[in-house]
Amino acid sequence: MQALPRSLALLCLAASMLLVGSYVALTKPLALVFPVMLLAWLRFGIGGGAMLHWLRKPAGEPPMTPRTRWLLFLESFFGNFLFTLCMIAGMRLTTAVAASVIMASIPAVVAVLGWLILRERMTLRILLSILCAVGGVALLALARGNGAANASAQSSWLGYVLLFAAVVCEASYSIIGKLLTASLSPRRITALINLWGLALSTPLGLYAAWQFDFGAVPPSIWLLLLFYALAACMGSVWLWMTGLKVIPASQAGVFTVMLPVGTALTGVLALGETLNAMQGLALGIALLGVLMATLPGRTQALPPVSS
């Protein structure tokens, strides 16, 4: 199969994180209606039904090794299952402002893990783009949270730890995904890790479903659940894996800054929130980081970590 052009791969990465940011913002109504584990189980179930035809092994794809099977489990456990639990639990113990600042560290964590685990060479320009991305989203969070200083001061340190654990899970998802794209197609990776997510969430999901009144759920919530499941399980994952097949993980990690940016934009466009000058500046700085990471050019590279 012909390799995807670099420009299209970069577009896939950006679209994936914008999609994640949008469905994170739009799932607030779902979390108010469904228990956490039931919501996760329904998500993976709907996504799995839509991707059954993606489970078939392509003709030219090599058989999966035990290492590949193990990586698929880890990808789903960290990127799907554990990330969701840590994020929800962390949000309950701290503030949205603190969460945004902590989540802004995802690009840096991805780059460091890519340097340590994948032995990727990290350029000075990528380092500068990471600083722009982290600084921009941190400024965005602080600009949105001027009125939440008292609540932030009372936030639990356990919440901070859980949120950073979610950051590590998301970064691990990017690194493991890069390893998987060397032997599996993006579609098959997407379908298989969703299948693991369904298996992990089924026991507690069935327990929650047994006590839940499905008849009380309005049609608008069911439509939102359908969008959430297809975007979270299918669209965003396939786009991310497609981009990772071409782009180094350290560079792709910069695009995770689009997650909180996408959430902020969705809040403005769909939820009626306002965007002031400081917030606009923060978004501009974050996008500058993405631009620095994607423009072609020669830059001195940092040496990889020795084995």
**pLDDT exceeds cutoff 50 at 303:** no
**Domain ranges, ordered by start, for the chain:** 11-56+86-294
- Name residue, tokens 């969460």: 99
Give, as one character, the DSSP assignment of residue 129: H
For 124-156, give one letter per residue: b (16+ CB within 10 A) or e: ebbbebbebbbbbbbbbbbbbbeebeeeeeebe
Average pLDDT, the chain: 78
Write the DSSP assignment of 46-63 as a string of letters. Answer: HHHHHTGGGSSPPTTPPP
What percentage of residues in the chain have a pLDDT greater than 70? Answer: 78
Average pLDDT on 251-280 reads 72
DSSP annotation of 94: S
- Taking residues 198-208, report their average pLDDT: 93
DSSP E strand boundaries for 149-250: none
pTM here? 0.75
CB neighbours of 180 closer than 8 A, spacing ≥ 6? 68, 71, 72, 75, 189, 241
C-beta neighbour count of 45 within 10 angstroms: 18
